[in-house]
Amino acid sequence: MRIEEIVRTGHGRILATLIRLLGDFDVAEEALQEAYAAALEQWPGDGAPANPAAWLVSTARHKAIDRLRRRSRLTQMQNQIARHIELTAEEDTPVAEDRLRLIFTCCHPALATEAQVALTLRTLGGLSTEEIARAFLVPTPTMAQRLVRAKAKIRIAHIPYQVPASDALAERLEAVMLVVYLVFNEGYAASFGPHLVRHELCEQAIRLGRMLVELLPAEAEAKGLLALMLLHDSRRATRLDGSGDIVLLEDQDRSRWDRAQIDEGAALVEAALGEGGRASGQYALQAAIAALHAQAPSAGVTDWRQIAALYGLLARIHPSPVVELNRAVALAMSGEMELGLRLVEELDRGAELDGYHLLHVARAELLRRLGRHAEALQWYQNALDLVSNEAERRHLEKRRGEIAR
Amino acid sequence: MRYMLLMCRDEKQWGALSAEERAAAYWATVEYSEGLRKRGLYERGDPLEMSSTATTVRMERGKVVTTDGPFAETKEQLGGYSIVEAKDLDEVLAIVNRHPLLRAGHSIEVRPIRAEQPKQP
C-alpha cells in the first residue's frame, strides 16, 4: 500500500491509536508526521511492511520516546507521558475502538461546535489545517488557532478519551452525529461562495458515518444518518448542469443517480426504521423521505402523500418551522395545492422563518404552479434579496425570468 | 485533577425566592456536597454574600484605588464555589449535572485548577 493511500484512508485510525498510547494530541500528531517521513524514506527501498498501520504506530511511538528523551530538562508532564508510553508499549495494532473514543473526544460538548468540526476533520479525517480553513472559508491562522485552543482545552481540562458511559451515550452520540451531518451539509450545500458542492467534505462525512454504524451497531440513528447522507449524495452528479447551474430534483436525470448508493441507503433506512420503530429519530425519518425521492422512477410518481406523512412524524419529534414548510410543500405536491399554500402563508406570518430564503422560494414555486405568476414574481424577488449562494441566485433569476416573459 | 465549580446566579431572581426556598437550596447543597465528600470527590466550598457587599481594589495610574461593588457588572454574579477532585471532565460534569443549585436557578462554571507552577524567574 502506498503511503499517500494510508494517509487518506487510515490516518484517523492510526492517530486515534497513537493518542490513546501517548495520551496527548500534539505529541501524537508530531510523532505520526515523523513516522510518515520515516516511511517515505524506508518503504521504497525495503518494501512496505506487512502491517503498515502497526508499523507506523510503532515507529511513531518510538519517535515520541526519543523526542522526549532528547529534551534535556523534562517537565513533570513530559515525564508522565514518557512513563505512560513505556507502560503501554504492548499494543501497536490500531483497534477500532480507538477511533470511537477519539470522535467522542473531538465532539465533546465542552468544545465549541466549530472547534468540534475542525478537530474531527483534522484528526479523524486527516485533513490539513489549510484544507479545513479553505473548506470553511476562514483564514488558515484562524483555523490553526481554533485547533490549538481546542487541543489545549482537552489537555488542560482533562476532557477524557473514552466512549461515554451508557447513561450519557445517547446524548453524546447526538452531538457526534450533528458534527458529522454539519460536515456533510457544508460539503453538500455550501451556504456561501460560488460552489454548491464540495465533495470532499461529503466523502469525509460519509466515511465518519460508516465508522459510527460499524462501531455502534446497536444505534439505529447512526444507520439513519448514514442512509440520509448516502441518499442525498447519490444525486451528486445531477444536481448541477454543465455550467454549474442548479438542476431541480424534478428535472434531474434519474438514470445518472448512483444506484448502488441508493440501494445501500434504502437498506439502511429499512434497518433503522425497523430497529427504531415508533421511537425512530430525525435522521432515520429524513432518510426515509430521501429514499422515497430516490426510488421514485420519475418525479411525477413520487409518493408525496407518504412524504408529507413522514414530515408530520418528523415535526412531532423535532418541531421546527423548516419541517413544517417541507410538510406544506409535500402536501401541495400531493395534490392539496391550496392547503399547502395556505400553510406556507401561515408560516410566513410567524417570525421564525424571517430571512429564510427557501420560504419565499416555496411560496413562489407554489404560486407559479397555480398560475398566479404576478404574485410568484414578487416572492422570487424576496428570495433573491436573501439568498447568499451564487448557484442558487442564478437559479432563482432563471426561474423568475421564465415567468416574467 | 482538581476543579473549581463557580456557582453563578442572577441575584435579582435569587433574591425574589422566599427565605424557605433559599434555605432549601442551601441544605440540599450541603447534603449533596457531603455525599461527594464521602466518595472522595469533594474538597471544600463556601457560599458568598451578595455582590452588593463586594469591594474591588485595583491599580490605576500607579495608585491603589478601592471601589464599591464586584470587578465587573454582569447579568449573573458569583454566589459560591466548590472545589472537587475528579479523574476527568466527564466525571465533574456528571457531578455538576445533578447539582441541586442547578434546579435553584444557578449556572455552574467548571474551571480546572492549575496544577503546574510557572518557572521561577
pLDDT tens by residue, A318-344: 889 999 999 999 999 999 999 999 999
Is residue A341 assigned to a domain? no
Which residue did the predictor score with more confidence, A363 or A84? Answer: A363
Please give the domain boundaries of chain B with CATH numbers for all domains: 2-112 (3.30.70.1060)
Half-sphere exposure of residue A101, counting CA atoms within 13 Å on the CB side? 20
pLDDT at residue A191, as a whole number: 47
Q: What is the mean pLDDT of residues A41-59?
A: 88
Q: Is the pLDDT of residue A195 over 70?
A: no
Q: Are A188 and A232 in contact (CB under 8 A)?
A: yes
Range B10-34 average pLDDT: 95
Task: For residue B66, list its beta bridge partners.
Answer: B57
Residue A120 lies in a domain: yes
Q: Cell numbers of B21, please?
A: 426556598
Name the band, by pLDDT with cuts 50, 70 and 90, for residue A87: low
A89 and A187 co-located in one domain: no
Minimal Cα distance from B97: which residue of A? Answer: A168
Nearest CA in chain B to A159: B89
State the pairing for strand pair B2-9/B55-60: unpaired
| Chain B residues with beta carbon closer than 8 angstroms to that of A108 | 89
Residue A197 pLDDT class (50, 70, 90 cuts): low
> Least CB-CB distance to B88: which of A77, A158, A168?
A158
- Where among A168, A195, A217 does a domain terminate? A217
A101 with A213, same domain? yes
Distance (Å, whole) CA A393 – CA A398: 9
Q: Find out whether B45 and B82 touch, Cβ atoms under 8 Å.
A: yes
Could you tell me if residue A399 is inside a domain? no
Whether A144 shows a pLDDT value over 60: the answer reads yes
Cross-chain Cβ contact A168/B89 below 8 Å: no
Q: What confidence score (pLDDT) does residue A9 get? A: 75
For residue A104, the chain B residue with the least C-alpha distance is: B90
Residue A61 lies in a domain: yes
Are B93 and A156 in contact (CB < 8 Å)?
Answer: no
Q: Residues of B at the A interface (Cβ-Cβ below 8 Å)? A: 1, 87-90, 93-94, 110, 112, 116
User: Which pLDDT value is given to residue B49?
Assistant: 94
- A50 shares its domain with A141: no
Total number of domains constituting chain A: 2
A157 and chain B: CB distance < 8 Å anywhere? yes
β-sheet with B42-47: strand ranges across: B42-47, B77-85, B2-9, B107-112
Whether complex ipTM tops 0.85: yes
Could A159 and B89 be called an inter-chain contact, meaning their C-beta atoms sit closer than 8 Å? Answer: yes
Distance CA A210, CA B69 (A): 55
Asked which of A59, A94, A129 is the last residue of a domain, the reply is A94
pTM for the predicted model, two decimal places: 0.83
Give the domain-ending residue among A159, A188, A217.
Answer: A217
- Contact call for B89 and A157, based on CB within 8 A: yes
User: Which ranges of A318-356 would DSSP assign to H, the alpha helix?
Assistant: 321-333, 337-349
Which residues of B are less than 8 Å from A157 in CB distance? Answer: 89, 110, 112
Mean pLDDT, to the nearest integer, of A284-292?
A: 97
Residue A23 touches partner B, C-beta closer than 8 Å: no
Looking at the structure, tell me whether residues A65 and A154 fall in a common domain: no
In a domain, A198, yes or no: yes
Do both A134 and A67 map to the same domain? no
Q: What is the spatial distance between Cα A76 and Cα A64, in angstroms, rounded to a whole number?
A: 16
User: Which of chain A's residues have a Cβ under 8 Å away from the Cβ of B87?
Assistant: 158, 160
Residue A47 is part of which domain span?
A: 3-94
One domain, residues A104 and A209: yes
Among candidate residues A126, A127, A216, the one with its CA nearest the CA of residue A176: A216
Give B71-111 pLDDT, tens digit per residue: 888 899 999 999 999 999 999 999 999 999 999 999 999 99
- For residues A8 and A64, membership in a common domain is answered with yes
The fraction of chain A above a pLDDT of 70, given in percent, is 91
- Indicate whether A81 and A184 sit together in one domain: no
